[in-house]
Structure formats: C-alpha cells, structure tokens
Amino acid sequence: MADDKKLTTRAADFSAWYNEVIMRAELADYSPVRGCMVIRPNGYAIWEQMQRGLDGMFKEHGVQNAYFPLLIPQSFLSKEAEHVEGFAPELAVVTHGGGKELEEPLVIRPTSETIIYSMYAKWIQSYRDLPMLMNQWANVVRWEMRTRLFLRTAEFLWQEGHTAHVDEADAEAFTLTILATYRRFAEEYMAMPVITGRKTDAERFAGALRTYCIEALMQDNKALQAGTSHNLGQNFAKAFQVTFQSQGGSLDYVWNTSWGVSTRLVGALVMTHGDDNGIITPPRLAQYQVVIVPIYKSDEERATVLAAADLVHKELKSAGIRTHLDARDGMKPGAKYYEWEGRGVPLRLEIGPRDVAGGTVMLARRTGGKKQSFPTEGLARTLRLEMDSMQQELLDAARTRREQNSIRGITKASFLDFLERDGGFAYGGWCGDGKCEADIKEQTKATIRCLPDPEFQSEEKPTTCMWCGRLAITEAVWARAY
Ligand SMILES: [Zn+2]
C-alpha cells in the first residue's frame, strides 16, 4: 500500500494493526490456498538475515546442513506412538502419484524426525560416528484451521536440527546448548528478550522426553513460543533401530535431540518492535540498514545531489553497511520517508544541496528523536555506532516492557485480576498436576509457558499452587499465548 492511509493503532486493535503493518511493509500476502502464505521479497529478506545469523551459530557447534525428502511414508509416523498421535490431526497426505493410487500413502512432512532417524539407522554404526549433528532448512505442512500471517500457517519455513549422541548426558547438554543459542539469537539479533525454561508434559513435543523453549512477550501481552529444543531420549532410536557399538563393545540405542525455529520469528519481530507507523527492524536483521533519500528541486540540484548521494552510497556499501539509494524520480521525499518508515528501515539519510555544500548528511532514526546532521567524513563509523545503540535500545525497551507486564507470587485471585486487566507473564507456584493445568487453561485460556530456568525464577520461592492451594513442586509462568 503506497497510499497515505493511516494504520489502525495498536491500542485500538492489535490484531488488525498486525495485519496492516505486514501488508504495508509488503512482508507477506494471502495465497489462493486457504491457510497458506506468500512471503514477499521484503519479508523473505528478513528471513534470510535470520537464516544467516542462526546458520553461523549452528555451525559454530559443529552442525552441518543436509536435506531430506518432503514426502514421508505414512507408516513411518506410526512407529513412534506418541508422535503419530500428536501430529495425525494436522497431516496432509498424498494418495495419488502419476495418475495412480499409491500403494502406501505419503505424508507431507509436518516435521522430519521419522525420515531422518530412518537414515541415521543406516549411517550410524559405532560410537565413532557420534555425535551426528545435522540441520535442514526446509518447509513443513501442518493443516491448521485457524491461520495468521507468519504466526500460524499451513505451510511454513523453518530449520530443524536433528542430532544423535552416545548417552543421555551428551544429548541433554546439546539440547541446552541449542536453547542457549536460540536465546542468544533472539536477544542479539532480534533484540527480543526471552525467558528460557522447560515445557510441562502437556506442552512437550510429541515423542520427546523433555522440551525446552524460549518464550517472548508481545506488545499485546500475549506470549509467543519462539523456539523449542527437545531431548528425544531413545524413543525414536528404538522406533527406528538406530543403534551403535559402544566403546565397551555393547550394542546401544543412540540418544536424539531435535530443535527448530520458524518464519514465526518474523511475526514475533513485528509484534515486538512495531509502532503505529509500521514495523521497526533491528539493524542486525534489516534488509537495508540505511536508506539514502536525495532531495532536490531543479535539474542542476538533482545532478549535484545525486552525485554526492552516490558517493555516500558506495562508501557505506564498501564499509559493509547494507545501504539503499532511493533515486526514484517523480516521487516526493515525504512519500519515500513514509514508505521506508513502514518497512522499518533503521536509519534514513537525507541529502540536499545544503548538505552537499557543507559536506554533511541529515540522519533520521526509525525509533524517533530529532534529526541530526553529521559530516560525511567518517560516516560509516558514525552509522555503525548509531546501529549498535539502536539495537541495544530496542532490546532494553522490550525488556522493560516485559518486566512491567510481569507479575510474581500470584494467587488465584490476583492471577484472574491480572488476566482481566492487561495480562502478561504471571509467575506462581504449581502443584505439578496436569488436571490443575488443564482447568486453568479451560477457564482462563492461559497456559503454562514454561517452568522457568533459575535465572528467571522469583527470589521468593512459591510454596503453594496458585490455583488449587496444594503444595507447589515448582514455579511456573502462565500467559495467554499465540
Ligand atoms: Zn494445583
């Protein structure tokens, strides 16, 4: 939308605002197939930056990329009982190929544990083959009935890591290494603070021993699960006969982990930083970190200004700053500002005749504040510092907002009151009973987001379950969630 239509404000209708900013920034569009989404170039560019960041981090931990098929024999899914039960309602199944009915239907992968571990069974023989650490960047299909752009779509893009280890301790350590990696990525790249913790049995991945997650709080105070890391134990190894000869000579089952984040993170980014003018992309993930808008009236001015803008453009690009020169003719600077603002570009440089004469540029920040004039001399360094501080400011602001919308030491009454008002993260004691957890979910729509890691736990340990009053076995974090 290149028109000057005002966006719905976040305060008026967060959900309408979310859809409008995505459309305005041209991140995605609805597809002819219900529940599916088209990721447009501006949205895909953010995903590519995310991929780049994550991929580098995975490789630091020795993970290699591979690719496994989209189609999985249906029988594979039934080999792990809990797994098939968890995914059966969401499966898309191919029954015909080449005009003929298939002997065995093929499932479009909802996740790839089964096909990957069927291959690991072939590739792993000895403890020397372990750990086996692989990741794939792929699409998956889960037949969702209620969909929302980026947050919940029938097909989405993600990465799924799958590893095999000699023992439980090694698998658990790797599960937690990835959890820490996800947290680092969320905070350092997305400027999105997260809490880490373990899922309850009701929320854990179908077929896993333990599921860990990173959880973020969006601006509407709903939680968003941003990534999960599972210790699968030996469940899949037993289902697919993934065995190895141990150092001691015995034949053992491997221990597996799997972990993933998806294009859902783009939605999380929008809902963490966007304002009433559109999205705000943290500099580390921006397609363009800097956009240059030349300002001129006469043809003569145009030539001078464009030449200067071109020089600045080249210099910034060669300094490794993702820069775009918006030299479109016949478009007023104001219209360009509006467009780049909606797309969330962190920094905008304006160059007019007076700036050229003075050897300066005018800098405007997407996060607001007064425009400032800077010399073109040493500009790359200036902009780097600006981007570093913007990246930090975005993280700090999001963390402050999350803490302002968190409540600790809840009782049933204060919890209900909290949800009635604005909601957010509610920390309290839990008896550990799944029945209690289910009752809360049914009555309030709030779920246990995680049993928080020590760093996030309250100083004062809760002693009773906030809902039923029985003895608490742990602290839990509740919220309504996406
Ligand atoms: Zn209870």
Whether residues 156 and 268 share a domain: the answer is yes
Confirm whether 459 is domain-assigned: yes
φ, ψ dihedrals at 106, nearest 5°: -115, 135
The model's pTM is: 0.95
Whether residues 420 and 293 share a domain: the answer is no
Confirm whether 43 is domain-assigned: yes
Whether residues 178 and 121 share a domain: the answer is yes
Whether residues 221 and 364 share a domain: the answer is no
Whether residues 157 and 206 share a domain: the answer is yes
Give 434 Cα–ligand 1 centroid separation in angstroms: 8
Give 469 Cα–ligand 1 centroid separation in angstroms: 6
CB 96 within 8 A of CB 27: no
Strands 93-97 and 100-108: what pairing? antiparallel
Give 472 Cα–ligand 1 centroid separation in angstroms: 7
Domain boundary (324, 357, 386) is at 386
Whether residues 316 and 232 share a domain: the answer is no
Per-position b or e across 145-181, b if 16+ CB within 10 A of its CB:
eebbbbbbbbbbbbbbbbbbbbeeebbbebbbebbbb
Confirm whether 1 is domain-assigned: no
Whether residues 92 and 144 share a domain: the answer is yes
Whether residues 256 and 323 share a domain: the answer is no
CB 321 within 8 A of CB 384: yes
Give 405 Cα–ligand 1 centroid separation in angstroms: 23
Q: State which H helix or E strand residue 476 sits in.
A: strand 474-479
Q: State which H helix or E strand residue 238 sits in.
A: helix 235-240
Give 439 Cα–ligand 1 centroid separation in angstroms: 9
Cα distances (Å, whole numbers) of residue 161 to 135, 205, 266, 394 = 4, 14, 19, 29
Give 84 Cα–ligand 1 centroid separation in angstroms: 29
Encode the chain (482 residues) as per-residue pLDDT tens digits: 445 578 999 999 999 999 999 999 999 999 999 889 999 999 999 999 999 999 999 999 999 999 999 999 999 988 887 878 888 889 999 999 999 999 999 999 999 999 999 999 999 999 999 999 999 999 999 998 788 999 999 999 999 999 999 999 999 999 999 999 999 999 999 999 999 999 999 999 888 999 999 999 999 999 999 999 999 999 999 999 999 999 999 999 999 999 999 999 999 999 999 999 999 999 999 999 999 999 999 999 999 999 999 999 999 999 999 999 999 999 999 999 999 999 999 999 999 999 999 999 999 999 999 999 999 999 999 999 999 999 999 999 999 999 999 999 999 999 999 999 999 999 999 999 999 999 999 999 999 999 999 999 999 999 999 999 999 999 999 999 99
Give 450 Cα–ligand 1 centroid separation in angstroms: 15
Confirm whether 38 is domain-assigned: yes
CATH value at residue 474: 3.30.110.30
CB 206 within 8 A of CB 192: no
Q: What residue has token string 């962190």?
A: 346
Give 411 Cα–ligand 1 centroid separation in angstroms: 11
Q: Which amino acid is at 106?
A: L
Whether residues 304 and 239 share a domain: the answer is no
Q: Which amino acid is at 462?
A: P
CATH value at residue 380: 3.40.50.800
Confirm whether 399 is domain-assigned: no
Q: How far apart are CA 344 and CA 42, in angstroms?
A: 10
Domain that holds residue 432: 406-479
Whether residues 231 and 87 share a domain: the answer is yes
Give 445 Cα–ligand 1 centroid separation in angstroms: 16
Confirm whether 470 is domain-assigned: yes
Domain boundary (386, 415, 445) is at 386
Domains in the chain: how many in total?
A: 3
Whether residues 410 and 378 share a domain: the answer is no
Q: How far apart are CA 432 and CA 437, in angstroms?
A: 8
Whether residues 422 and 468 share a domain: the answer is yes
